[in-house]
Amino acid sequence: MDSGDREWERAAVVQTLPVVAPRKLAKVPFVEMADGRLQGVVSSGSDIARVYVSSVAAKTHGLSCSTNNNRPCGGLRGAYPCKHIDALLDEAVVQYGLERVARYLGVEIEGTSLYHALNCSHEPAPAAVVFSRFLRHLAYLELPGATAPIPELQWFPATGVSR
Ligand SMILES: [Zn+2]
């Protein structure tokens, strides 16, 4: 084949890459500010089948992190956020903006990071409610032939919706 054909082939490969990429969840597929908590679902870095439900109480900054079947997160000790809560805070800022998140949590963020503005304590909260809302969001993914962007799913790279 001549070089023109090869050029065409390379272009075709680039175009099909997003389609054949393995479907996987975003690091933080679900974040909401509800029930007096900033809360959401964080996927486990190591196990695709496991997710953590993490939350920060708006008033007390009580931290909670457990798996979807209510096993406490081993990384959350005392007043120090685990990596899941860190990821949750980061994603909340991406989705809602730093100002809105800070206002919801009742903190001033001038000259400091959101994390340092929080006065954290350990305060386990039930994961089931958050997790069931997450599953309702996931159900959108199973809609047959849905190609139109669904606003609630912007953070799922698997849907092909770009930010
Ligand atoms: Zn955790």
Q: What is the pLDDT along the chain (163 residues), one digit of tens a residue?
A: 455 566 655 555 544 444 444 455 689 999 999 999 999 999 987 777 789 999 999 999 999 999 988 899 999 988 889 999 999 999 999 999 999 999 999 998 887 788 888 999 999 898 998 999 998 887 766 655 545 555 555 555 554 444 4
CB 116 within 8 A of CB 132: no
* C-alpha to C-alpha distance for 97 and 100, rounded to whole angstroms: 6
Query: Looking at residue 4, what is its pLDDT?
Result: 55
Find the 142 Cα to ligand 1 centroid distance in Å: 28
| Region of residue 102 (phi > 0: left; psi between -120 and 50: alpha; otherwise: beta) | alpha
Partners of 34 in beta bridges: 37
User: 104: part of which helix (H) or strand (E)?
Assistant: helix 98-105
pTM for the structure as a whole: 0.70
Query: Looking at residue 17, what is its pLDDT?
Result: 46
Residues with CB under 5 A from ligand 1 (ion): 52, 65, 73, 75-76, 82, 84
Query: Looking at residue 89, what is its pLDDT?
Result: 95
Query: Looking at residue 46, what is its pLDDT?
Result: 75
Query: Looking at residue 19, what is its pLDDT?
Result: 46
Q: How far are the Cα atoms of 38, 83, 137 from residue 74, in angstroms, in the given order?
A: 20, 11, 27
Return the exposure string of 82-121: e unless at least 16 CB atoms fall within 10 Å of the residue's CB, then b.
Answer: bebbebbbebbbebbeeeebbebbebebeeeebeebbebe
Find the 123 Cα to ligand 1 centroid distance in Å: 13
